[in-house]
Structure 1
Amino acid sequence: MTDITTPRPFGVDFERHSLRGRFNAAFFRLMGPYIEWTLRRRKQRIFAHLPREVVEIGPGVGANLRYLSPGTNLIAIEPNPSMHEPLQEAARRRGVELDLRTRRAEVTGLPDNSADCVISSLALCSVQDPAAVLAEVRRVLHPGGTFRFLEHVAAPEGTVTRWAQRMLRRPWAWTFEGCSCERDLEAVIRDAGFENVWAEPYRVHSPFLPFNTQIVGMAWA
């Protein structure tokens, strides 16, 4: 499986689109309960017993705050300003201390070996360069720290889902701000140089066919 996108040079700033940014913030607030219902069982498993300080790549409107204990310090790497207000509201409701950083995940600005845990869900599909993001995750994790992830990935070749991903790739990417439904993220994570990687493929059944093939797992620095 290959990714149709070619990584572009990246910087700290996010290329904001006035329409798509607001649409995505509204979409994920509206669809959040349905998406959470679809993914809840696996999120409960992978995000169990999180430490009191967590770094999250692309927290969006705050779907994963429910898995953090009240008083947890969340360092949120969220470059899209349209997501910031709902994320801040969700943090206040959940009693989470939010350290919000408007940066791309490739260049978090965090110190080396400074994090116990980094999490991401449905985020690596949208970054410009997944390999660079994972190198950054490894850099900021201290030895033995964990990267916990839940992501949607390319379906096997020859399947109806793979056909749909290929047919819908351009409107999907435009609508969801660069999201690729054709990335083999398990291979990218396994190639990132972690000490150990556990990943489990699974399938959800939703009307959003390109989204239905996913992985959940953990990598140890």
Structure 2
Amino acid sequence: MEIEGSERTPPEAGEVRRGLGKAFFAWLLAHGGGTDRRLYGARKRLLLGGLSGTVVEIGAGAGPNAEYLGAEAGASGVRWIAVEPNVHFHPRLRRAAGARGLDLEIVGGVAERLPLADASADAVVSTLVLCSVDSVAGVLAEVQRVLKPGGRFVFIEHVAAPEASVLRRWQRRLRRPWGALADGCRPDQDTLAMIDRAGFARVDAERFHLRAGLVAPHVAGVAVR
């Protein structure tokens, strides 16, 4: 059964992203599903499969996480609110939700200003997003605002290499050209430290490495409000 996605009142013009460059980026990420599944599938299944209720995903992209949401609770047990400023992803999000029978709502805005009520989400999901937002602190504050008490912030992010490492030096040197090619991505950002400082009641995370060059170091985990 195909479920039509709904959209909230359009956000401010500066919070919606469109154009040739954004369209190409959407096309590029939409064709990387196989790689995403190979690199992150096992961890996504573990972290996302048991989520239920209202699940807000920031930077939802083309919807690669749709196949994991409700895997244990059942698709009918998840209301998926996909926050995605790049409008070229929205048709792909609808198709991803329809293929999995998920109840989808698209929010075409940015994670720093979520048009959602306080304590309205059971979980918030971020996978490979915090590296490119304008304000990590602002996003994490919004995540905590919309989470219910005891709600979970589930994340998988690439992070900075250890301070004295050769890779860290290369991450710093190539930050600008990398960001220009990867939609503002910052390879030398210590994202886990930012999550630890954000004021969650508890943060449980693991570090792991992938064969991914400049962005090989990763973290995955859950922060509880």
TM surpasses 0.5? yes
Aligned-partner Cα distance in 1 for 2:151–2:93: 25
Pair 1:210-2:211 in alignment: no
Structure 2 counterparts to residues 79-90 of structure 1, below 5 A:
79-90=85-96
Which residue of 165, 171, 176 maps to 1:170? 176
User: Deviations for 1:139-183, whole angstroms, at most 9, x for unmatched residues?
Assistant: 011111110100011111333432332232112211222111111
Aligned-partner Cα distance in 1 for 2:66–2:111: 19
Of 172-181 and 109-118, deviating more is 172-181
SS at match of 1:34: helix
2:185 corresponding residue in structure 1: 179
Asked whether the 8 Å contact 2:58–2:82 carries over to 1, the reply is: yes
Asked whether the 8 Å contact 1:108–1:136 carries over to 2, the reply is: yes
Q: What is the deviation of 1:15? A: 6.1
1:194 corresponding residue in structure 2: 200
SS at match of 1:150: strand
Gaps of 5+ in 1: 1-10
Q: What is the deviation of 1:12? A: 7.3
Aligned-partner Cα distance in 1 for 2:167–2:94: 35
Q: What is the deviation of 1:17? A: 5.5
Q: What is the deviation of 1:192? A: 0.6
Asked whether the 8 Å contact 1:126–1:179 carries over to 2, the reply is: yes
Change (3 A) 1:41 1:160: farther
| Two-structure CA RMSD over aligned residues (Å) | 1.6
1:25 corresponding residue in structure 2: 26
1:219 corresponding residue in structure 2: 223
1:48 corresponding residue in structure 2: 49
Aligned-partner Cα distance in 2 for 1:115–1:52: 8
Aligned-partner Cα distance in 2 for 1:180–1:193: 23
2:149 corresponding residue in structure 1: 143
Aligned-partner Cα distance in 1 for 2:156–2:96: 20
Aligned-partner Cα distance in 1 for 2:165–2:95: 41
- Larger RCO, structure (CA 8 Å, separation 6 or more): 1
Structure 1 counterpart of 2:151, one-letter code: G
% identical equivalent positions: 42
Change (3 A) 1:15 1:174: farther
2:9 corresponding residue in structure 1: none
Q: What is the deviation of 1:22? A: 1.3
Structure 2 counterpart of 1:25, one-letter code: A
User: Deviations for 1:114-154, whole angstroms, at most 9, x for unmatched residues?
Assistant: 11111110011111000110000000111111101000111
Pair 1:94-2:100 in alignment: yes
Change (3 A) 1:115 1:16: closer
**Length, aligned pairs only:** 209
Q: TM-score, normalised by structure 2?
A: 0.87
